[in-house]
């Protein structure tokens, strides 16, 4: 099978997971020639299912700060937004994440699937139907919790107050009206009540820094008060993080963003060592990680829409919800969230 044929058959499986019906319409959103092979394959896969499909190609976004979120090729392009609202499923190949246009499409009931990872990563981390149940289990745990605490051997001890905002649920397919998801993913995350994070996060050597796409060579310590980072200590990498954050000239960049744990057992921590030109779902969805992050909470209904967003996956952490152990030293201890083939039969 050629790579293009493999792509069509895998994307057809994905569209089936997204419950695409023959009477529906798929819009594939592209910009320039980036991921032109994905666009072609999604259009072919949609046709095989019998659905209508079209590609909407936009000029590149006006450039924001390097790696910043929220400014997309759809920004201020009203006709394009209205056009996409009429589709049932939008395949986002341009990264609409954290944009108000994405929220507008979701509110109109459009399902949105973001696809930006290299094909070998998508193949390896490709979702299973059963992932949904495991991620929804995590979602319910977070929904019912009032307090989340994370610790690690390096000295992390941080507490989040929860309950004000909805939960971010990513299982890798957009199968319900208004649902946004990301191929591949597999994790759930919460964001704290306004101002409700206190403590210290010590990222350890080997933990991951996005969007820098690199592993930490030394520890970095974040001191957190009232939901904001008040101090960043460490060596060279702490300096680099501070410098990057300062470049946004936005005090809201220092807010604490989403927190949760990964459930994709097909994700590989070491993958960045071989290809750093990735979005980084391996680190973000890694089974048993804790995904700490800084910046916006607008995706979860908050008012902070700063374009400065750092995702900081940490290994070997322990995570508690209202005192109950959920992740122990980087391993998920709740049966219902373990990989389906390693769950005890009940
Ligand atoms: Fe994030």
Residue 129: Cβ within 10 Å count: 12
Average pLDDT for residues 165-183, to the nearest whole number?
97
274-293 residue pLDDT tens: 888 899 999 999 999 999 99
By three-state DSSP, how is residue 30 classified?
A: strand
Q: Please determine, for residue 255, whether its predicted confidence score (pLDDT) is greater than 90.
A: yes
Phi first, then psi, for residue 345 (nearest 5°) are -70, 130
- Identify the domain containing residue 174 by its residue range: 124-344
190-201 residue pLDDT tens: 999 999 999 999
Single residue among 83, 116, 149 that ends a domain in this structure = 116
What token pair was written down for 249? 């000239």
* Ligand 1 centroid – CA 41 distance (Å): 27
By three-state DSSP, how is residue 71 classified?
A: coil
* Ligand 1 centroid – CA 194 distance (Å): 17
Question: Do 223 and 97 share a structural domain?
Answer: no
296-346 residue pLDDT tens: 998 888 999 999 999 999 999 999 999 999 999 999 999 999 998 888 755
pLDDT of residue 168: 95
* Ligand 1 centroid – CA 132 distance (Å): 19
* Ligand 1 centroid – CA 304 distance (Å): 13
Question: Do 289 and 173 share a structural domain?
Answer: yes
Q: What is the pTM of this model?
A: 0.93
pLDDT of residue 70: 66
Question: Do 170 and 95 share a structural domain?
Answer: no
pLDDT of residue 1: 85
* Ligand 1 centroid – CA 23 distance (Å): 34
pLDDT of residue 69: 65
Q: What is the mean pLDDT of the chain?
A: 94
pLDDT of residue 100: 81
Question: Do 161 and 44 share a structural domain?
Answer: no
79-120 residue pLDDT tens: 999 999 999 999 999 888 767 888 899 999 999 999 999 999
Question: Which pLDDT band holds residue 28 (cuts at 50, 70, 90)?
Answer: very high
Number of domains in the chain: 2
Q: Please determine, for residue 149, whether its predicted confidence score (pLDDT) is greater than 80.
A: yes
Which positions ≥6 away from 89 have C-beta within 8 Å? 15, 18, 20, 24, 25, 26, 27, 110, 111, 112, 113, 174
Of 66-70, 139-143, 260-264, 312-316, the range with the lowest mean pLDDT is 66-70
Question: Do 106 and 137 share a structural domain?
Answer: no
Which positions ≥6 away from 58 have C-beta within 8 Å? 29, 30, 31, 73, 74, 77, 80, 94
Question: Do 107 and 243 share a structural domain?
Answer: no
307, 64 in Cβ contact below 8 A?
yes
* Ligand 1 centroid – CA 297 distance (Å): 9
- Judged on CB neighbours under 10 Å (0-12, 13-18, 19+), 344 is exposed
CATH number for position 82:
3.40.50.2300
Single residue among 64, 85, 116 that ends a domain in this structure = 116
Question: Do 192 and 316 share a structural domain?
Answer: yes
Question: Do 340 and 199 share a structural domain?
Answer: yes
* Ligand 1 centroid – CA 170 distance (Å): 11
By three-state DSSP, how is residue 153 classified?
A: coil
Phi first, then psi, for residue 134 (nearest 5°) are -65, -40
pLDDT of residue 99: 79
Question: Do 302 and 158 share a structural domain?
Answer: yes
Question: Do 251 and 313 share a structural domain?
Answer: yes
Give the single-character DSSP code of 327: E
Comparing C-alpha atoms, which of 148, 160, 146 is closest to residue 195? 160
100-107 and 78-85 are packed helices; what angle lies between their axes, rounded to 10 degrees?
30
Of 53-62, 67-76, 77-86, 200-209, the range with the lowest mean pLDDT is 67-76
* Ligand 1 centroid – CA 2 distance (Å): 34
Give CA separation, 229 vs 196, 226, 253, 311, in Å.
Answer: 12, 9, 9, 14
Question: Do 77 and 140 share a structural domain?
Answer: no
* Ligand 1 centroid – CA 296 distance (Å): 8
3-17 and 36-49 are packed helices; what angle lies between their axes, rounded to 10 degrees?
60
* Ligand 1 centroid – CA 186 distance (Å): 13
Single residue among 66, 83, 116 that ends a domain in this structure = 116
The fraction of the chain above a pLDDT of 70, given in percent, is: 96
* Ligand 1 centroid – CA 293 distance (Å): 6
Cα atoms in the 13 Å half-sphere on the side-chain side of 251: 3
* Ligand 1 centroid – CA 295 distance (Å): 8
* Ligand 1 centroid – CA 289 distance (Å): 14
Average pLDDT for residues 249-268, to the nearest whole number?
98
Question: Do 250 and 172 share a structural domain?
Answer: yes
């Amino acid at each position: 099978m050629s790579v293009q044929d493999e792509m069509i058959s895998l994307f057809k499986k994905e569209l089936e997971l997204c419950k695409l019906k023959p009477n529906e319409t798929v819009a594939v959103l592209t910009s320039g020639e980036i991921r032109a092979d994905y666009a072609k394959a999604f259009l072919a896969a949609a046709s095989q299912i019998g659905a209508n499909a079209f590609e909407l190609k936009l000029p590149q976004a006006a450039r924001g700060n390097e790696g910043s979120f929220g400014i997309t090729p759809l920004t201020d392009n009203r006709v394009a937004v209205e056009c996409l609202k009429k589709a049932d499923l939008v395949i986002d190949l341009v990264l609409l994440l954290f944009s108000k246009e994405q929220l507008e499409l979701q509110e109109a009931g459009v399902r949105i699937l973001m696809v930006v990872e290299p094909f070998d990563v998508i193949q390896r981390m490709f979702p299973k139907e059963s992932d949904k149940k495991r991620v929804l289990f995590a979602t319910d745990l977070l929904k019912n919790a009032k307090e989340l605490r994370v610790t690690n051997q390096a000295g992390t001890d941080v507490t989040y107050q929860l309950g004000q905002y909805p939960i971010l649920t990513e299982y890798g397919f957009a199968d319900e009206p208004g649902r946004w998801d990301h191929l591949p993913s597999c994790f759930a995350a919460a964001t704290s009540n306004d101002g409700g994070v206190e403590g210290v996060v010590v990222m350890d050597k080997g933990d991951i820094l996005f969007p820098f796409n690199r592993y930490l060579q030394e520890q970095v310590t974040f001191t957190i008060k009232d939901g904001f980072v008040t101090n960043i200590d460490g060596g060279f990498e702490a300096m680099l993080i501070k410098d990057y954050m300062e470049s946004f000239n936005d005090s809201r960049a220092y807010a604490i963003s989403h927190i949760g744990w990964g459930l994709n057992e097909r994700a590989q921590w070491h993958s960045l060592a071989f290809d750093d030109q990735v979005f980084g779902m391996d680190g973000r969805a890694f089974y048993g990680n804790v995904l700490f992050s800084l910046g916006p909470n607008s995706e979860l209904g908050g008012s902070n829409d700063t374009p400065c967003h750092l995702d900081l996956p940490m290994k070997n952490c322990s995570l508690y919800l209202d005192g109950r152990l959920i992740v122990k030293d980087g391993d998920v201890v709740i049966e219902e969230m373990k990989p389906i083939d390693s769950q005890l039969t009940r």
